[in-house]
Amino acid sequence: MGDNRKILVVGGGISGLTAAVEAAEAGAEVVVVERKPYLGGRVSQFNHYFPKLCPPACGLEINFRRIKNNPAISYHTLATVESISGGPGNYEVNVTIQPRFVNDNCTGCGECAKVCSTEIPNPHDYGMGNVKAAYLPHPMAFPFKYVIDPSIVGTDEGKACADACAYGAVDLAMQPATLTFSVGAIVWATGWAPYDATKVDYLGLGKYPDVVTSVMFERLAAADGPTGGKILRPSDGKEAKSVAFVQCAGSRDENHLPYCSGVCCLASLKQATYVREQYPDSKAYIYYIDVRAMGKYEDFYTKVDQDENVTLIKSKIARVSQAPSGGLLLEGEDIVNGGKVKQVVDLVVLAVGMVPGTAAVKPELPMEYDDFGFVVSSGASGIVPAGCVKAPMEVAASVQDATAAALKALQCAMGR
Ligand SMILES: Cc1cc2nc3c(=O)[nH]c(=O)nc-3n(C[C@H](O)[C@H](O)[C@H](O)COP(=O)(O)OP(=O)(O)OC[C@H]3O[C@@H](n4cnc5c(N)ncnc54)[C@H](O)[C@@H]3O)c2cc1C
């Protein structure tokens, strides 16, 4: 093995970004490949982070600055790994870059979007609401560059977007490209996806518009989300002043995800604060099997629980249905007090578990997987997993794990 201090990071979420900056600041040259048009991963879709309840920008911004200021880090968006060959110390990786149809001249002025009328479902908002086919992925996007959706390439509208750009940034002739990198080690940080809770049919996702998932709720509460940050019922735009959070929506269930994702209880506690802060006369109900708020997060749980308008009920919800009087009816067992739970609310939020990016398709790489698709290998092969691709974890744990992964990758790259 040689001393190839170049490291490839696959996945530009908080884990991949952390691994990239840590490895680069320790002397490596780093290339990040991210399949979306921007860096930041799922964190960029949050309204606030627990436990401090600050906006995602406060964690991401500093990493973007470290990347911008460090010439040893390069990154490619709309990029995926096509093939990997070689071994620790000398991997060769082919990466395919899909065309953005916008080049580096883009200033983010938005003139292209002004002449575009075609709309597509907004991927950043989980399809709630639309975005123009010439779009900035979100207001804090890094890189701060527009994207032209392939659906308008080759049309008069696409041409109008190009003509509207005073900087020559819209390039409709862009083609997919393949880049080859020789690297000493690879950090695999492809993260997680929310469990598809439409499979838990008795909870009503996909049947009732006012049943949403926890990840969708982040967007409903976010100022740059589909409702401008107002927590409104999707069905009729009414203010959602009574909100039920259903924990373990598919989790800890042999028919769905047998494991606990560990962060969902904290996410629902956090989301209850969104409701309570927005509407002083609101009520939040959290239906849980067990509240998992380990270690330092116990204080956060206690603080939210002290609000008398946040009610935690130990119950497994067995059914969500349309209430005859309007709203949604939740039914289940009240495990502590006995009897039945029957509660009508404006909005139901399903706390969905985290599924690793490697669950659906396992890359044919020297990595080992557990039964659920999480990567469990140590990284001795020079392909080092980091963050939620290994196990569900919150941001602080992801950052710690990615820092350790950067060190492991450096050791592998240098043949130590
Ligand atoms: C509802 C909910 C709320 C949460 N709220 C909080 C919170 O308030 N505070 C907190 O600490 N934690 C929270 N978490 C946990 C937090 O989301 C994770 O800790 C964090 O997203 C982990 O980051 P990651 O980089 O490992 O994964 P991700 O954020 O998933 O990033 C992975 C990146 O890899 C990219 N990628 C995937 N596959 C490929 C590929 N093949 N090639 C290239 N790129 C690829 C993805 O596009 C993505 O950008 C929450 C989780 C949930 C479910």
pLDDT band at 380 (very low <50, low <70, confident <90, very high): confident
Q: How far is the CA of 354 from the centre of ligand 1 (A)?
A: 9
Q: How far is the CA of 140 from the centre of ligand 1 (A)?
A: 17
Q: How far is the CA of 17 from the centre of ligand 1 (A)?
A: 11
Residues 106-117, mean pLDDT to the nearest whole number: 98
Check: CB of residue 147 under 8 Å from CB of residue 100.
yes
Structure tokens at 215: 């990840």
Q: What is the pTM of this model?
A: 0.97
Check: CB of residue 158 under 8 Å from CB of residue 74.
no
Nearest atom, ligand 1, residue 15 CA: 25
pLDDT (0 to 100) of residue 7 = 97
Q: Whose structure tokens read 């597509």? A: 120
Q: How far is the CA of 67 from the centre of ligand 1 (A)?
A: 19
Q: What pLDDT digit, counting tens, does each position of 260-288 carry?
A: 999 999 999 999 999 999 999 999 999 99
pLDDT band at 58 (very low <50, low <70, confident <90, very high): confident
Nearest atom, ligand 1, residue 393 CA: 19
Ligand 1 mutation pick, 33, 98, 190, 355, max ligand atoms within 8 A of CB: 190
Q: How far is the CA of 269 from the centre of ligand 1 (A)?
A: 19
Q: How far is the CA of 48 from the centre of ligand 1 (A)?
A: 14
pLDDT (0 to 100) of residue 57 = 87
pLDDT (0 to 100) of residue 368 = 95
Share above pLDDT 70 across residues of the chain, in percent, rounded to a whole number: 99
CA distance 61 to 76: 18
Q: Is the pLDDT of residue 412 over 60?
A: yes
Q: What pLDDT digit, counting tens, does each position of 208-248 carry?
A: 999 999 999 999 999 999 999 999 999 999 999 999 999 99
The span from the first CA to the last CA of the chain, in angstroms, equals: 9
Ligand 1 mutation pick, 15, 18, 21, 42, max ligand atoms within 8 A of CB: 42
Pocket of ligand 1 (CB under 6 A): 10-16, 33-36, 41-43, 46, 49-50, 80, 189-192, 214-215, 263, 267, 270, 354, 357, 387-388, 393-396, 398
Mean pLDDT computed over every residue of the chain: 96
Task: Determine how many CB atoms are found less than 10 A away from the CB of residue 378.
Answer: 10
Report the greatest alpha carbon distance in the chain: 71
Q: What pLDDT digit, counting tens, does each position of 177-218 carry?
A: 999 999 999 999 999 999 999 999 999 999 999 999 999 999
Q: How far is the CA of 412 from the centre of ligand 1 (A)?
A: 25
CA distance 73 to 66: 9
Q: How far is the CA of 114 from the centre of ligand 1 (A)?
A: 32
Domains of the chain: 6-98+176-191+357-413 (3.50.50.60), 111-164 (no CATH), 195-354 (3.50.50.60)
Task: Write the CB contacts of 405 (distance below 8 Å, at least 6 apart in sequence).
Answer: 15, 19, 187, 189, 379, 384, 385, 386, 387
Of 351, 352, 353, 359, nearest in space to 389 by CA: 359
Nearest atom, ligand 1, residue 387 CA: 26
Nearest atom, ligand 1, residue 41 CA: 49
How would you list the strands of the sheet with 347-350, edge to edge? 211-213, 347-350, 242-246, 283-288, 310-314
pLDDT (0 to 100) of residue 3 = 64
Nearest atom, ligand 1, residue 270 CA: 8
Secondary structure letter of residue 59 according to DSSP: H
Q: How far is the CA of 125 from the centre of ligand 1 (A)?
A: 15
Residue with the smallest CA separation from ligand 1 atom 28 is 191
For residue 234, give Cα distances in angstroms to 216, 267, 337, 398.
11, 21, 33, 32
Q: Which long-range contacts (CB under 8 A, 24 or more apart) does 114-117 make?
A: 114/164, 115/157, 115/160, 115/161, 115/163, 115/164, 116/152, 116/157, 116/160, 116/161, 117/157
